Amino acid sequence: MTLTEQIKTFIHELGFQLTGVAPVQPFPELSFYQDWIEAGRHGEMSYLERNAEKKTDVRNIAPLAKSVIVCAKIYHTDYPLSTEFKDPANGWVSRYAWGDDYHEILQRKLFDVVSFLQEKVDENIVGRVYVDTGPVVDRVYAKYAGIGWFGKNTCIINQQKGSWFFLAEIITDLELDYDEPAPDRCGSCTRCIDACPTDALLEPYLLDSRKCISYLTIELKNNIPLELRDGIGNHVFGCDICQDVCPWNRKAEAADDKAFHPRDGLVSPALTDLAGLSIEEFREKFRRNPIKRTKHKGLLRNVAVAMGNSKQKDFIPTLQVLADHEEPLIAEHAKWAIHKLRDEN
């Protein structure tokens, strides 16, 4: 068994469903990233601008790098999709945020892989670990490691597993056996583009984050643009629509890791329950969970918008409380929601 085969076997034993190895090269897709940033399509995610030159070549991080080992961990669970679950009294949380925060879980596993590599090689090695962090464009290396192709929704899609998985990488100076990139199998399908409520997919393979529901409910820290609020629907954290409608996810494998199974109340949570959370309750409920990223005021802002889109006038008393909130961000969106509900027939 070659070293590459041993590495892949060990990675699978750690619970990753997919793994592959890409060479370190200036792939053409990496230059697209810089163009995307310069066009301003990253919105207020200023952290994506930092170290942009490193993102176009990982040798700016590790000059001796020769290989990128890509690992993929499924987080899909056997629960309804957002497109199937319609209850106006409830909100929607993106699937990846139903369980524990994946960063720490996957990072620990990758450090185990680095230790395994070190045991197999006599000399000291370079082993940089990244889990959706640092100056690495995950998707590009995932493509060239054979994990999957770039979908028209910009997600990596695997023919057997679908797209419900987290990506993580190890950059190393070991020269390994490289995988072939997967062929694009989206064909003429445009379901993801057609289904996006805010038209964030400008064309196949091109996303404008500034219009994406995930960006608007998680990354945007200020007011949600008025013209985009209706399209958010009942989403209070993230969005899965472009993956929900993807044909390659029809038979997607479910996660075997209990850490990614839903916590109580996170599959289509009641909007009134979320609206009543204090800061302390928010911190406790979402400890070690991705939702903490949006912060308390961001979540209540999103809840107000979801209530405004619900057509449920019963929410008005709750919204009136939020409209008097000391945080202007929450109050403004609650007032908008009240006006919308009152104006609807």
pLDDT at 202: 96
Helix, strand or coil, per DSSP, at residue 69: strand
Task: Give the model confidence (pLDDT) of 160-181 as tens digits.
Answer: 999 999 999 999 999 999 999 9
Kindly report the backbone phi and psi dihedral angles of residue 128, in degrees, each rounded to the nearest multiple of 5, phi listed first. Answer: -90, 130
Mean pLDDT by 10 residues, the chain (345 residues): 95 97 90 80 75 75 92 94 90 96 93 94 87 82 96 96 96 96 96 98 95 97 97 97 97 88 93 97 95 97 98 97 97 98 83
Which pair of tokens denotes residue 86? 């319609």
What single string gives the DSSP state of each residue in 168-186? Answer: EEEEES---PPPPPPPP--
**Sheet (strand 127-130) strand order:** 18-23, 67-74, 165-172, 127-130
As beta bridge partners, residue 167 has 72
- How far is residue 28's CA from residue 34's CA, in Å, rounded to a whole number? 11
Distance set, CA 99 to CA 92, 170, 328 (Å): 14, 24, 30
Neighbouring C-alpha atoms within 13 Å toward the C-beta of 337: 34
Q: How far apart are the first and last CA of the chain?
A: 69
- How far is residue 28's CA from residue 19's CA, in Å, rounded to a whole number? 22
pLDDT at 37: 80
Answer whether 0.95 is exceeded by the pTM.
no
pLDDT at 53: 67
Active-site residue list: 132
Task: Give the model confidence (pLDDT) of 58-80 as tens digits.
Answer: 888 888 999 999 999 999 998 98
The percent helix, strand, coil of the chain (3-state, each to 5) is 45, 15, 45
Which pair of tokens denotes residue 164? 């419900």
